[in-house]
Amino acid sequence: MKSHEIDYTLYGDDMQFVEIELDPGETVIAEAGAMMYMDYPIQMESIFGDGSGNQGSGLMGKLMGAGKRMMTGESLFMTAFTNGGNGKRNVSFAAPFPGKIVPLDLAEHGEKIICQKDAFLCCAKGISIGIEFQKRVGVGFFGGEGFIMQKLEGDGKAFVHASGTIIERELMAGEKLKVDTGCLVALEQTVDYDIEMVKGIKSAFFGGEGLFFAVLTGPGKVWLQSLPFSRLADRIYKNAPATGGSRQGEGSLLGALGDMLDGN
């Protein structure tokens, strides 16, 4: 294997973290700020690039790799955790919001997975973390993830996180699945990703599902999330108390009644 062969254990249900077991000399690469705890004497080092050696040599190559990651919502630096001791040691990483951590053995998925921006959590050293451009203009503008998605390549284990409950679907050749554009987490490279406009003016404007669906065509596996973080944040924002103490309820009548009882 080109990538380090790491073992892991997932803990929790809706607020998960992953504990990585490192043999002496093994390294795991993580998004900056994801570390929860680590055993002594694991050594932590901030690095440009992903440590895979696939982003060119020299400072310029590392800078270009870091710049590409920033386009997918990741930070400029990544962090390498290396076991510098003699025995097995553990380091753990936590997701930044409620949801699930999805372990992916890239060797079982054609050594390449395409995922939504800002989904990467950590991976074995040797995996390349890059960008995937959407070639179709419609997908880029209306697909929910824009023209740029994350690309994980290699033969080791990688971990991505998503909000809500995660479901894995395997599509047969030619099988199509319509998905809310915000619910797509990841897909294998064999899956075709396109968009389709909602039919009917009434459904498009009053159906509450947006104007476009993501259309996934097999063969291959896809991973979907039940609650996109953007949807949760939008609902919290809409129902947050307004300045001055007035409340915004689910229904305008109840909200107005609550304001009257409060003397507003």
- CA–CA dist 229, 167 (Å, integer): 16
In the prediction, which pLDDT does 230 show? 72
Q: 73 to each of 67, 99, 114, how far by Cα in Å? A: 10, 18, 14
Is residue 142 within 8 A of residue 211, CB to CB? The reply is: yes
> What are the chain's domains?
7-236 (3.60.160.10)
Q: 92 to each of 81, 82, 84, how far by Cα in Å? A: 10, 13, 16
> Which of the residues in the chain have pLDDT under 70?
1, 53-75, 133-147, 198-211, 242-264
In the prediction, which pLDDT does 40 show? 92
In the prediction, which pLDDT does 2 show? 84
pTM over 0.85: no
In the prediction, which pLDDT does 82 show? 96
In the prediction, which pLDDT does 138 show? 46
In the prediction, which pLDDT does 253 show? 47
